[in-house]
A and B are shown apart, each in its own frame.
Chain A
């Protein structure tokens, strides 16, 4: 009998029940915790994204690193672009785009909730990433999408922490999350699952994980999960340091340093003489 030995997958992290709430509140964004407590309405703008609150609950999130709802709904033809853009244009204070989209009957409540919640947690993961600048809250600012299924702030914070831990357990290096990705040539070729193959097919030395997610019309966090799994399997590496400005090839020839070579030769001779 042939026993195929595979590495057991890391367990999805489970929240530590003892005092998790207090830790989550303190670790992600104290400002957000305070805004939830005072049931604030407005938008929290942070370095990597924004969270929209209505009465202290998260109704929407956006981040340049996560594909927007438009990308998710239009890429795979869930909605026709005309239907989407009309709802966006007609949305106002009273009726957000979510309500208008449901009224068209072109998308069901369940589908819109699943897609929007996925996008909300996805963007929140990036928006709540550790930042070098303080966040800013603008009271009263609403979002054109409107409220569909508000989520408690502590649920978003807990999930964000859990996601960080999940990525860390899969592959502890965060570089592949943001750097251009390169295909590695693995000695053994383990065929990854189809969702990872789709990601791998777009790895070209230029695209980053968020760009691949956008191209696939897929939320960014699942793509980070796939990329870290591919990195752990040795199929993908991140370009480091990220390329800045490529010098012309003629200038990039290796500078041969003669003294080093003579030193190495003398060292070799000395070792051989031992």
Chain B
């Protein structure tokens, strides 16, 4: 039964992982973080990614055809790429009311998006199911 730190350390084992954090998208608070983050400040990075995650979770354009009302949030993950890295944000559904996501920063040269998506999905499930 992994805690937050074990989960983030597991995320850091992904190929190319530079940093990993568990962030609350309502407040922008990082509940935990390991590794490095863009700009060198994990709190600032958390606040910025939280804003993108919140907007994504709230847009009706991104909800599945069945309305997605049952799932909170209706979005599974969010991928952002730039010239040298990938950011993968994986929403974590919980049985209690929360708004958290896993954020992994991957170097583009050795990051594997498909693998990261699958692994983060598994980690999100394990993190809250225990």
Contacts and interface: CB of A to CB of B under 8 A. Distances in A.
Given A117-B31, A221-B27, A111 B97 contact: no
Given A9-B55, A12-B50, A15-B44, A110 B96 contact: no
B97 A109 contact: no
A27 interface: no
Contact of A166 (B27, B43, B57, B95): B27
A115 B22 CA distance: 13
Contact of B1 (A17, A77, A110): A110
B95 A76 contact: yes
B4 interface: yes
A176 interface: no
A107 interface: yes
A17 B41 contact: yes
Interface in B28-55: 28-29, 31, 41, 43-44, 47-48, 50-51, 55
A50 B105 CA distance: 37
B37 to A, nearest CB: 12
Contacts of A108: 1-2, 126-130
A11 B51 CA distance: 7
Interface stretch (A51-59, A155-163, A237-245): A155-163
A7 B44 CA distance: 23
Contacts of A162: 27-29, 47
Chain A contact residues, majority secondary structure: helix
A77 to B, nearest CB: 7
A166 B28 contact: yes
A77 B69 CA distance: 19
B58 interface: yes
Nearest to A13: B47
B24 to A, nearest CB: 7
Contacts, number: 118
Interface stretch (A86-94, A201-209, A212-220): A212-220
B95 A111 contact: yes
Contact of A111 (B24, B48, B129): B129
A14 interface: yes
Contacts of A111: 94-96, 127-130
Contacts of B43: 14-15, 158
Contacts of B3: 109-110, 113, 149
* Max count, chain B CB within 10 A of own CB: residue among A110, A113, A221, A222: A110
A107 B24 CA distance: 20
Contacts of A109: 1-3, 6, 130
Contacts of B92: 114
A73 B44 contact: no
Given A72-B97, A109-B6, A195-B58, 14 more contacts: A12-B28, A14-B48, A75-B97, A102-B1, A108-B1, A108-B127, A109-B2, A109-B3, A110-B2, A110-B3, A113-B31, A114-B92, A114-B128, A219-B98
